[in-house]
Each structure stands twice: as C-alpha cells, then as structure tokens.
Amino acid sequence: EAQVTQNPRYLITVTGKKLTVTCSQNMNHEYMSWYRQDPGLGLRQIYYSMNVEVTDKGDVPEGYKVSRKEKRNFPLILESPSPNQTSLYFCASSSTGVTTNEKLFFGSGTQLSVL
C-alpha cells in the first residue's frame, strides 16, 4: 500500500532535549516536505526536499533541521526544542514536486508537546 509513514505518533519532551521525527515513503517520490499545523493557522511549510541531498527552507524553518540521505526518508530534527514548537507535524511527498497537478500524500501526523 502506498503510504507516508511518520513516527512517533505522539511525543512529549522537555525544552532543549534533541529529538527526531522520522518520515518514510514507499512510492519512490522525489519530493518530500514537512509542515506544522497550529490552530487557526492552517499548515505551514517548514522544509522541503526536491531529491536526495537537496533540501531548502519553507516558510517557518527556524529551529528545525532536515536531511535527505536516502530517497525514501526525510527526518525532521529539533536540536533544541522549545515550547513554541509544540504543534502537529505532517510529512508529505509527491512524485517530483515540480508541477502543481501532482497530488501531495500526507502522513498521519506527529503531535509534539514541548514542556
């Protein structure tokens, strides 16, 4: 089954403790992206990747890092989490990300709480 898998589903941590949220897709997609969703703000893009070893900032990249060493994986790294990063995070992928008429496939989300 074609899917985007995120882990963990829920995560509670404390300020400053480094964490990684994993994302994997099994559709051989070149494009992958991370979003955060906050009440009333919709989804905002954090980082995206057009292919292996190619990443770029989205609208709200501060405090986050990503890597794309393999085509299927796109982990989101919070080196020193802060309470304002408490949010619902989604990973997404699409075939190439180049043309708008591609569908974005989303994972089920990771609810992160930073205390």
Partner 1 sequence: LAKTTQPISMDSYEGQEVNITCSHNNIATNDYITWYQQFPSQGPRFIIQGYKTKVTNEVASLFIPADRKSSTLSLPRVSLSDTAVYYCLVGDGGNNDMRFGAGTRLTVKP
Smallest gap, in angstroms, from Cβ of residue 30 to partner 1? 11
Q: Which amino acid is at 27?
A: M
User: Of 14-22, 29-37, 64-72, 78-86, which segment contacts partner 1 by CB under 8 A?
Assistant: 29-37
**Footprint of partner 1 on residues 38-77 (CB under 8 A)?**
40-45, 48, 56, 58-59
- Does 1 help bind partner 1 (rule: CB under 8 A)? no
Rounded least distance, CB 103 to partner 1, Å: 4
Going from the C-alpha of 38 to that of each of 1, 13, 48, 99, the distances in angstroms are 29, 18, 19, 27
Q: Mind giving me the DSSP string for 42-82? A: EEEEEEEEEETTEEEE-S--TT-EE--SSSSB--EEESS--
Of the listed pieces 12-20, 68-76, 77-85, 105-113, which binds partner 1 according to CB under 8 A?
A: 105-113
Q: Return residues touching partner 1 (CB under 8 A).
A: 4, 31, 33, 35, 40-45, 48, 56, 58-59, 90, 92, 94, 96-109
